[in-house]
Amino acid sequence: MMEREAVAVIAGNAEGMALVLSQPLSFWGGIDVATGRIIDANHPDQGETVTGRILVMPGGRGSSSSSSVLAEAIRRKTAPAGIILARTDAILAVGAIVADMLYAVRMPLVVGDTEGLVSDLPTEIRDVGASCCVIRQDARAGGIPPLSRA
């Protein structure tokens, strides 16, 4: 079981299978908002789907329009269940904030250590208050046990 703290940009709870990207992704031109599929022909993870997954990446990549694409994907339910970034990205934060405000749909966005997180393992983001979240990933069968509140 891997567990670590992260800073909540948009606090909330999410769980799903991780999709760990080695390179940043621009949502503008990089994601098909109708399907959640990565369509950027130059991205090494082209063809993967972000929908319902915990998207892990170093950061966002450009175009301020990525915020509107992320907000629309959240509205259409084709967005990731949550996003974990190694470094803060204001553009993605704006997209998540707008979706929360306009559509009342919250998608957690956190910044923390992404080292060692692996694709296709059950992963969760848990809001523990005071702008703090916990990232948990477990390679054991049976999924992630409930977070203990010691």
What is the rounded distance in angstroms from the CA atom of residue 65 to the CA atom of residue 17?
27
| Mean model confidence pLDDT for the chain | 92
Pairing of strands 122-129, 14-20: antiparallel
User: What is residue 146's predicted lDDT score, i.e. its pLDDT?
Assistant: 58
Q: Residue 84: is its pLDDT beyond 50?
A: yes
Confidence of residue 142 (pLDDT cuts 50, 70, 90): low
Q: 60 or 103: whose pLDDT is higher?
A: 103
The single residue of 63, 64, 66, 68 carrying the catalytic annotation is 63
Active site residue 22: no
pLDDT tens per residue across span 21-74 = 999 999 999 999 999 999 999 999 999 999 999 999 999 887 789 999 999 999
Q: Residue 113: is its pLDDT beyond 70?
A: yes
User: What is residue 149's predicted lDDT score, i.e. its pLDDT?
Assistant: 47
